[in-house]
Homo-oligomer: A and B are copies of this chain.
Amino acid sequence: MLRIITQQTEAQTELKRIGGRTFDDDMRPKEELVREIITNVKTQGDTALLAYTEKFDQQVLPLEKLKVSGSELDAAYQQISQDLLHAIQLACQKIEAFHRQRIPKSWVQFEDDEVVLGKRYTPVDRAGLYVPGGRAAYPSTVLMNAIPAKVAKVPKIVMVTPPGEDLKINPAVLVAAQEVGIEEIYRIGGAQAIAALAYGTETIPKVDVITGPGNIYVTLAKKMVYGKVGIDSLAGPSEVLIIADHQANPVYVAADLLAQAEHDPMAAAILLTTDATLAYKVQQEVSRQLENHPRKILTEKAIAHYGLIVVVDSLETAAELSNLFAPEHLELEVSEPWDLLEHIRHAGAIFLGNSTPEAVGDYLAGPNHTLPTSGAARYASALGVETFMKHSSLIQYSPVALKKMSSTIQILAQAEGLPSHADSVRLRTD
């Protein structure tokens, strides 16, 4: 049963516990394994990839099957319904339209004395997208990672995803990839896939940025190769925090909480409400909706460990608790959501009003569903076109401009004990 608490201090403690659920006390054994995997992929290339696939995915993967073939890609279209194809296509359009807004653009500006300053934005050369397999093989993951890369005009995008039984890959995932224009897909998952993308193998090209969610091994591998390549973020288990007042519908709120909990036994589903009656009704409704839930066991587990209802004295208190938690997803099921928004400082995505369940954003509203988890919304943002771009600062000084700044630069360089810095200006201007 979803727990209800009313004490502020208890609420803070509980939110802190839930927010910190990602991290084991000691990650070292897992880190050691991941380090070993990376080293072996780096030195043995494809051979290591095939061996790890047999070991971890229990699949014998012949080298010629590492890359997904054109005929397999074609066949995927026959394996999904027309309805699903059209749904993927509509989602694709809407996500792309949103990501085309406010793409970073290069600029230069001219200052006095013929000084030119600016920023020049360019895409990365190569991006690698990780798409989980098994229960969590989602076509929406493909769209949300690949579309920003496409909009950024990344010349080469490759995808990796672990093989399931008989080396199969979810056909909806393959269709989603093709709808976005990705045809270079490798049948490899886990830390070994991340290592392959970071260092390259005989078959898999080395990339510049790796994005996409994964299990703890994938996440540790991403952290380990960060610096060698760019990464989007370190994804933890998913979470929703809902702020609701008396006018919220307990049936909707309960469904929204369960829509988060059903992802993973580690998922978190939190309700902060000013209305004790609503709290009670949501509690009942969650139990009711769980009764015949197809993913009942794992969902119940998430609700039991990381589910929580807090009755608060005001919406401002709710906002403060939410800021403390910095949720990945925040739903404002209150009568004046835009007023409450003013009190929110940290959240990955904010869903306003009673007709905006998170699922709208998960699939097709447009904004990215790859969002900062585990409190990372305090400092990080959704994956976006920027994830696949970078900029170079541009500086051009004229002889006149340099002369004017010459003595100031020399004073600073001398103060820092860097004589050649000073010389590089002095020799040009004296």
Chain A residues close to B by CB (< 8 Å):
80, 83-84, 86-88, 90-91, 98, 101-102, 107, 109, 115-117, 119-120, 122, 124-125, 135, 138-140, 172, 208-209, 223, 226-227, 229-230, 234, 251-252, 255-256, 258-259, 261-263, 289, 293-295, 299, 330, 337, 341, 344-368, 371-372, 374, 376-382, 390-399, 401-402, 405, 408-409, 411-413, 415-425, 427-428
Contacts and interface: CB of A to CB of B under 8 A. Distances in A.
A258 B427 CA distance: 13
B345 A412 contact: no
A232 to B, nearest CB: 11
Contact of A122 (B139, B345, B420): B345
Contacts of A109: 101
A189 B411 CA distance: 27
B365 A395 contact: yes
22 contacts: A84-B411, A87-B411, A90-B408, A98-B117, A115-B365, A139-B415, A229-B379, A230-B378, A255-B424, A294-B419, A341-B394, A350-B392, A350-B393, A354-B428, A359-B409, A359-B413, A360-B409, A361-B393, A361-B395, A365-B397, A371-B393, A377-B392
Chain A interface, DSSP helix/strand/loop, else mixed: mixed
A424 B109 CA distance: 49
A382 B391 contact: yes
A228 to B, nearest CB: 8
Contacts of A425: 357, 359-360
B289 A423 contact: yes
Contact of A353 (B84, B397, B405, B417): B397
A417 B379 CA distance: 32
A392 B413 CA distance: 41
Given A259-B418, A390-B377, A417-B135, A360 B91 contact: no
A252 B427 contact: yes
A381 B357 CA distance: 35
A348 to B, nearest CB: 7
B259 A350 contact: no
A258 B412 contact: no
B227 A234 contact: yes
Nearest to A83: B411
A378 B424 CA distance: 27
A412 B140 contact: yes
Contacts of A419: 262, 293-295
Nearest to A389: B381
Interface centre among A140, A209, A356, A357 (most CB of B within 10 A): A357
B408 A91 contact: yes
Contacts of A395: 349-352, 356, 360-361, 365-367
A64 to B, nearest CB: 30
A357 B424 contact: yes
Given A230-B380, A252-B427, A378-B208, A392 B344 contact: yes
Contacts of A344: 392
Nearest to A234: B227
Contacts of A226: 223, 226, 234
Contacts of A117: 98, 365-367
Nearest to A292: B419
